[in-house]
Amino acid sequence: MLLKEDAPEMATCDKMILAVKQLHRNSALAVKQIKSGVFRSGNRLFLTDTLVPSRLQPPRSFSSVPLSTAMTAGCRLTATRYRWTRAGVFLRGQTNFLTPTSRPCLLQDRMFVNRVGGAGFSGEDGGDSAGSGGEESSGDGGVPYGPQMTALTPMMVPEEFPNVPLIAVSRNPVFPRFIKIIEVKNKVLMELLRRKVRLAQPYAGVFLKKDDLDESDVVESLDAIYSTGTFVQIHEMQDLGDKLRMIVMGHRRIRITRKLEMEPDEASTSTGWLESELQPKAPSRRKAKRSRKDQPASLTEQIEDKLKSLECFFFQALTAEIVKTIRDIIALNPLYRESVLQMMQAGQRVVDNPIYLSDMGAALTGAESHELQDVLEEINIPKRLYKALSLLKKEYELSKLQQRLGREVEEKIKQTHRKYLLQEQLKIIKKELGLEKEDKDAIEEKFRERLKERTVPQHIMDVINEELNKLGLLDNHSSEFNVTRNYLDWLTSMPWGTNSEENVSLERAKEVLEEDHYGMDDVKKRILEFIAVSQLCGSTQGKILCFYGPPGVGKTSIARSIARALNRQYYRFSVGGMTDVAEIKGHRRTYVGAMPGKIIQCLKKTKTENPLVLIDEVDKMGRGYQGDPSSALLELLDPEQNANFLDHYLDVPVDLSKVLFICTANVIDTIPEPLRDRMEMINVSGYVAQEKMAIAERYLVPQLRSHCGLTEEKASISSDALSLLIRQYCRESGVRNLQKQVEKVFRKVAFSIVSGEQTTVTVTPDNLQVYVGKPIFTVDRMYDVTPPGVVMGLAWTSLGGSTLFIETSLRRPSGGVDSKGEGSLEVTGQLGDVMKESAKIASTFARAFLMTQEPENHFLVNSHLHLHVPEGATPKDGPSAGCTIVTALLSLATNRPVRQNVAMTGEVSLTGKILPVGGIKEKTIAARRAGVTCIIMPNENRKDFSDLPDYISEGLEVHFVDHYSQIYPIAFPQDQS
């Protein structure tokens, strides 16, 4: 064999034919072929699978292969068979030489081995190769395979190759003698590269793009790339259909001279700026060949490296310094070692090749793309070496910084690890000496220590012991361990058997209540009764009270005073807007982050079993997909059930029978009836002007003056000014707005004193507007003198009581009666359904009552009337204005005004009976505020009026009636003109 180790290195051209034949036979034997040979066609040699070497035409089942390709493939197969690692073919002049070389044999030509029609080489005329279609087919008819892999045979790279395709890359250029993987997705460029490979011209020019962010394969203009690039050979090409993946190897530097101009009929199939052409048809190809005769011979030029004569010592110093720097980088970062070994060619001293050394130094660094391109463009070898050395020095400094940072981080980790080990050792030593117990033992001892002074029920103690035993079997780092520990923490933190000593002195309780609040006699009496019962029984029991009334009357603040009077711990939480039942009854322990409900949290915080719990805004609870909180309160506020209240988290019965629950609400209509039935309802009505005056003088003025940093000598408000402030600015039932206005006065006084305008200020009715602005309520009533058809009524609102005028008028002229002789009534003023029905009932009764008083008066029967309740933007509803509407209709029908300074309230039935209404206190306060001296109300409300304080009822003429016939002589006296 020619390629054995004892074979000659070169063979002559005549002997080469015999060598190729023998090589091909060996290759055929390797693939179980029995026929092989070489035939000559003109001056060209072809390889075929026949024993007849003189046949001019190859068999149809095998495409003819050029000699260079055949030699290389045969050499590869022979080398593979004899387990050689390196073999190849090179061309020198006009003579073909077959020789072992140092070039690695990376892949084998699968097409030549097994005759599978891959993307192999075809003849120069672009013969029918099955590999260009992206599939592989066998000689039997084509069995499809996966993505094509084309292994190109090594060949001598031509010294001059004028036209090459242009491949634009980003970030890193390709240096000569270095390998790079490139992917191409542009369809035109992919087809051009496939054709170049089929034509046995696997060469291209790789140029770096100036914009690193541009990821496209092609460029719109040559200005987008650097003019200097690398002439590369495609060693391997994998066709994936939508893209090509190639392994290319750089050979030398090239520079773009000009782009290839295509003929008009070829422009549609060319990329326009690639230094080659794409010929899909034979006529176009011949035309392109003719056009190339008129073009310059080369579109790219090779860049020759210039090496000036330098002093030997300077050149050696540069080379040695580069090698030293590379070694230093490898010493700092061993990851560079593999990169250097891959870059260095086997059996070659890098120091002996300064050109390769400079390129290797630049490629080894992670420098910017323009810096690497600068090294690639440099043709002066010493300058190139110097630039590469600069990049290596930067890389060396970066490696030193990276090593220093890594050393610091590693040192910190070592210190942390050492500290952890010492702590663990210390724990073990303390355990051995008995100075410290294990975590589980310490936790169990802490929990049992909490229960020593408490009277824990037996069923609770059984649960605690069971959980402690479970805790001892669990691993400290398990999630169940933390869940169990938190559960035990809640169980042992409960105030089992712990009660605060309650005050049973009525005098002490009365003193505390009077000290904090003025008025509210009903609430104070109920608390004193609670204390009296506790004193007689010798023990206290929990109660459920509900204070309801308008905002700002002190419902929430009185609860704190009650807790202080009873010497109980105070806890407040609001349920306004609450939609989750778990807020009251807790979450199940299986949930992540589960917690008990508000009541269990209250007991843990107050540390007593008998606190005072204020549940605020019970009338504003919501309802969501998590449940209905108002239903959850049924068990909590039921005296028969809360002795065994079951929280979802604790899951053990808890006694709440000693807890005093106080709820607050503005209205009771929105409270569910079952919940309202469990509470003792206490009405907290609004304040009259006298009460507001007393509250302002006793509590608000001293407190707010102190909060603003003022003293009584510097700032004071006269009683007349407070009275005017209450009457014209603060007419609401509560005192919250009064508190804001008084605070506003003191703020402005403080500003005037600090700014030096005044030293002492006394607020009087004359200068009150300077501090609080213009009056809000300028008149007390809409009508000072009521005309015929207008009557003053009394209404109740959530803000307290107010006066309500009923107006009636004729809607059509008296002559415009319809043919039927029936009248009508139109109602306006944004009235509710109940009030509209009340107006219809009043109209019917007024007609009947007028017939009895004035039979000849048919005004209400034939007229079209309009009834209006002023302030149409305010919704109004309720039946209490029935007698007022009847009176207004009779006043309009008789054209007589009602008695001045009279107001009335009460529901009227269809037969004229006056039914009782609510809100007597608020309505009386509103009438007194409006200057009314005579009030008419139902007889059944006499008991409500008798409960009013004297300062509210004194000076009022009150008439209690059962039928409307008693109202008529009061509203229309006989002596009235």
Annotated binding-site ranges for ATP? 549-556
393 is catalytic: no
CA distances from 952 to 133, 327, 678 (A): 107, 105, 32
- What are the binding residues? 549-556
* Amino acid in position 935: I
* Amino acid in position 572: R
The tokens describing 678, both together, are 């469990």
Residue among 408, 496, 421 nearest 459 (CA): 496
Catalytic-role residue among 923, 943, 946, 977: 923
Helices and strands (H and E) in the chain: how many: 32, 30
The tokens describing 712, both together, are 């009584």
400 is catalytic: no
Catalytic-role residue among 630, 843, 880, 891: 880
Residue 268 contacts by C-beta under 8 Å, 6 or more apart in sequence? none
CA distances from 823 to 436, 794, 826, 864, 908 (A): 99, 28, 10, 5, 21
* Amino acid in position 82: Y
- Separation between Cα atoms, residue 162 and residue 139, nearest integer Å: 37
Which DSSP category does 590 fall into?
Answer: T
> Are the beta carbons of 89 and 200 closer than 8 angstroms?
no
Residue 400 contacts by C-beta under 8 Å, 6 or more apart in sequence? 332
Task: Residue 130: count other Cβ atoms within 10 Å of its Cβ.
Answer: 20
679 conformational bin, left if phi > 0, alpha if psi -120 to 50, beta if neither: beta
Buried b (16+ CB within 10 A) or exposed e, 70-84: bbbbbbbbbbbeeeb
> Are the beta carbons of 38 and 66 closer than 8 angstroms?
no
The pairing of beta strand 86-92 with beta strand 95-104? antiparallel
| Residues forming a β-bridge with 627 | 624
CA atoms within 13 A of residue 905's CA, in its CB half-sphere: 26
| Residues forming a β-bridge with 166 | 205
- Separation between Cα atoms, residue 48 and residue 348, nearest integer Å: 39
- Separation between Cα atoms, residue 685 and residue 521, nearest integer Å: 10
SS3 868: strand
Task: Residue 157: count other Cβ atoms within 10 Å of its Cβ.
Answer: 16
Residue 415 contacts by C-beta under 8 Å, 6 or more apart in sequence? none
Catalytic positions are: 880, 923
